Structure 1
Amino acid sequence: MNIDTDDLTTLDERSFGARVEPHRRELHVHCYRLLGSFDDAEDLVQEAFLRAWRRRETYAGRASVRAWLYRIATNACLDALDKRPRRPSADGEVAWLQPYPDDLLAQLPDHREGPEDVALSRETVELAFIAAIQHLAPLPRAVLVLREVLGCSARDTAVLLETTVASVNSALQRARGGLRHALPEDRGDWRADATAVEQALLARYVDCTERVDLEGLAALLHEDARFSMPPEPGMWVGKEAVVTCWAEGGFGSDAFGSVRCVKTRANGQPAVAVYVRLPGGSDYAALTLESLRFRDGAVADVVNFDRSVLPHFGLPMTLDTVQSVGTVETS
């Protein structure tokens, strides 16, 4: 049977799965943008595929299968947000925020045409952008993603969301206004990554972390550095506040143990998985995944995710002594 046919009602479950499966990664990223959580996006893609199978007779061939799946996935996300509304804290924290591995982003189909499109693609998976749009109400958030990330027309967006063009345009204006308040003012600086300066700064950050050198790390921080640990509450702003937080957490003390790092990338930016071996221990146990943003030759943001996100990156929960000799890199 030709699984590329547009008559989805003629397909058995296995053939239907083969027809929609190539869209899984881009739908997962789409759901991730709307939800801010890698795990929730995984659940919603599965829900979208299940809905698509159950409602396959609603596909009339007037649009592509891809567009039909985006419609189902978007509405599945909106339904989930309606059932379980979540709001950032008063100081802007998004407690449910999770990182997205660059290795998986590389699986996205390449619809880009030039440098501007590459920048846009990078920009719309940046952690700051994902966190910022979580401040928007669900409908404006969906409209923003559909109109300005996926490039849908106002009419197509209205059809997809089962609303009017006027409502779409109004929601987009609200989303743009909200986004201006939620995004960091210095956001554009992230585009300078992958330079020799960044690589050198990352190497110094890893070296100081592995030597448990609090003073060395403090010297790398921007004066306005920010530190957060979703899903734990609290955001520390300013070099002194960040360093104090780390010191109070035991970093730099004899009891902290020895550290090894695994360099990786998340949301188009450098990230470091941190493993700790307690005094007297044998293996290095996963502690955190740190997403980094650099500005003006310094570390501007450190977002510390708990170790539960490491499997998304294909990283182990422990490193033995042999594995830990030298810093490992996943990319």
Structure 2
Amino acid sequence: MVTTELITRARAGDGEAFRELTEPHHRELQVHCYRMLGSFQDAEDVLQDTLLAAWQSFGGFEGRASLRTWLYRIATNRCLNARRSAARRPAKEWDVPGVQPPEPTRLGEVVWLEPFPDALLEGAIDVPLGPEARYEQSESISLAFVTALQVLPPRQLAVLVLRDVLGFHASEVADMLDSTVESVNSALKRARAGLQRRLPTADRERPPASCSPSEDAIVAKFVQAYESADLDALVALLTDDVFMSMPPMPLEYEGRDAVARFCAGIFGSGRKFDLVPTRANGQPAFGSYVHTPTGIRHGTGLFVIALAGDRIRAMIRFDNGVLPWFGLPRSLPSR
């Protein structure tokens, strides 16, 4: 059915026509909200709020901008409202019995960070981008990029995502934010400078292609080292400046020695783990399951690793509440 007829029906209150018009944009809007908020749960909530607001105001959609642009305007402003009003998740205390973590390198700011399942990225990061886009879509969903976005002031964050990630023109962004082109350009300049201070250095080796033999080889070595509690083998896979974080716990460790001390404490406790592969944020990820005396293996969290060349440059551990988002069980039966 032609779009103009669907728009006419939706303006008249036809919910099925509205759904048919907006459903092709759901996935990319969810990813947009995730970039803005850094939280998978918050992104889903704001997406639903966006669709409700769009439905309630669709009678006023005049078609001066495309439907996609109009939806991005609503979603962006709903995200900005959420950033202003939401109480971010509080930091969580260390809760691994019998293990005392070493002194962290620093305390992290973005304790609300959550991973995004790759299964939901299909159709969301291969959308046509505007001519102003500066980042590859795979790069702009990585945990390092999303984390760096979260420390930007909200309007700077919105401008950078709309301009440099999605490629909207400055005039379009100004209209979305009820601002001026001059204000948008100024915010973008400040946002770019702030983002570059937070992102990994440009001269770092690029990661191997997703699901390539090179990536598979590194992943296999990591799984073998971690499941066998082989600290030396694990440390040999790390870059000198490897980084480890554990949202919602604020503990962060930077450098091979610091991460080695942390892993030594986990391995030294006698715990044994099985890792179940999945993918998050375009990166290798693993559900982590600890062995118990009964043989049942309980899910303790989700690891996401970032690669540089043939080494691991970051390890991010999330708590076990995220496992169901990846289709992973809370526990595995005894073998």
The TM-score normalised by the length of structure 1 is 0.87
**Alignment of 1:73 onto 2:75:** yes
**Alignment of 1:294 onto 2:311:** no
**Alignment of 1:242 onto 2:259:** yes
Number of residues of Structure 1 aligned to a counterpart in Structure 2: 315
Q: Which moved more, 1:260-269 or 1:191-200?
A: 191-200
User: Against the structure 1 CA distance between its residues 186 and 228, is the aligned structure 2 distance closer, same or farther, given a 3 Å change threshold?
Assistant: farther
User: Against the structure 1 CA distance between its residues 97 and 306, is the aligned structure 2 distance closer, same or farther, given a 3 Å change threshold?
Assistant: same
Aligned AA for 1:26? E
Does the 8 Å CA contact 1:263/1:273 hold for their aligned counterparts? yes
Deviations 1:263-282 (A, max 9, x none): 1221111112111122x123
Deviations 1:230-258 (A, max 9, x none): 1101211112211212233x32433x2x3
Matching residue of 1:277: 291
Matching residue of 1:263: 277
Matching residue of 1:314: 327
SS of the aligned residue for 1:163 comes to coil
* 2:196 pairs with one of 176, 180, 202: 180
Does the 8 Å CA contact 2:134/2:165 hold for their aligned counterparts? no
Deviation, structure 1 residue 118: 11
Q: How far apart, CA to CA, are the structure 1 residues paired with 2:88 and 2:331?
A: 33
Q: How far apart, CA to CA, are the structure 2 residues paired with 1:134 and 1:94?
A: 7
Deviation, structure 1 residue 169: 0.7
SS of the aligned residue for 2:179 comes to coil
Deviation, structure 1 residue 17: 2.9
Instruction: Return 5+ residue gaps in structure 1 as ranges.
Output: 323-331
Matching residue of 1:222: 239
- Structure 2 matches for 1:114-153, cutoff 5 A? 120-153=136-169
SS of the aligned residue for 1:226 comes to strand
- Percent sequence identity over aligned pairs: 43
- Structure 2 matches for 1:21-100, cutoff 5 A? 21-84=23-86, 93-100=109-116
Deviations 1:172-219 (A, max 9, x none): 111111111111215753443344333212101101111222332222
**Alignment of 1:169 onto 2:171:** no
Q: How far apart, CA to CA, are the structure 1 residues paired with 2:283 and 2:242?
A: 16
SS of the aligned residue for 1:146 comes to helix
For the aligned residue pairs, the C-alpha RMSD in angstroms reads 2.5
Does the 8 Å CA contact 1:6/1:61 hold for their aligned counterparts? no
Deviation, structure 1 residue 12: 2.6
Does the 8 Å CA contact 2:112/2:247 hold for their aligned counterparts? yes
Deviation, structure 1 residue 91: 5.3
- Structure 2 matches for 1:170-209, cutoff 5 A? 170-186=186-202, 189-194=205-210, 195-209=212-226
Q: How far apart, CA to CA, are the structure 2 residues paired with 1:34 and 1:88?
A: 18
SS of the aligned residue for 1:29 comes to helix
Matching residue of 1:210: 227
SS of the aligned residue for 2:295 comes to coil
Aligned AA for 1:287? T
Q: How far apart, CA to CA, are the structure 2 residues paired with 1:277 and 1:85?
A: 36
Does the 8 Å CA contact 1:263/1:270 hold for their aligned counterparts? yes
Q: How far apart, CA to CA, are the structure 2 residues paired with 1:2 and 1:176?
A: 40
User: Against the structure 1 CA distance between its residues 259 and 6, is the aligned structure 2 distance closer, same or farther, given a 3 Å change threshold?
Assistant: same
* 1:10 pairs with one of 1, 9, 12: 12
Deviation, structure 1 residue 87: 11
Does the 8 Å CA contact 1:87/1:134 hold for their aligned counterparts? no
User: Against the structure 1 CA distance between its residues 193 and 30, is the aligned structure 2 distance closer, same or farther, given a 3 Å change threshold?
Assistant: same
SS of the aligned residue for 1:106 comes to coil
Deviations 1:33-75 (A, max 9, x none): 1011111100000110111112112211212222111111111
SS of the aligned residue for 1:234 comes to strand
Aligned AA for 1:81? R
Aligned AA for 2:21? R
Aligned AA for 2:276? V
The TM-score normalised by the length of structure 2 is 0.86
Deviations 1:135-184 (A, max 9, x none): 11000100011111111101111111111111111111111111111112
Q: How far apart, CA to CA, are the structure 2 residues paired with 1:260 and 1:191?
A: 25
Does the 8 Å CA contact 2:206/2:309 hold for their aligned counterparts? no
Does the 8 Å CA contact 2:29/2:72 hold for their aligned counterparts? yes
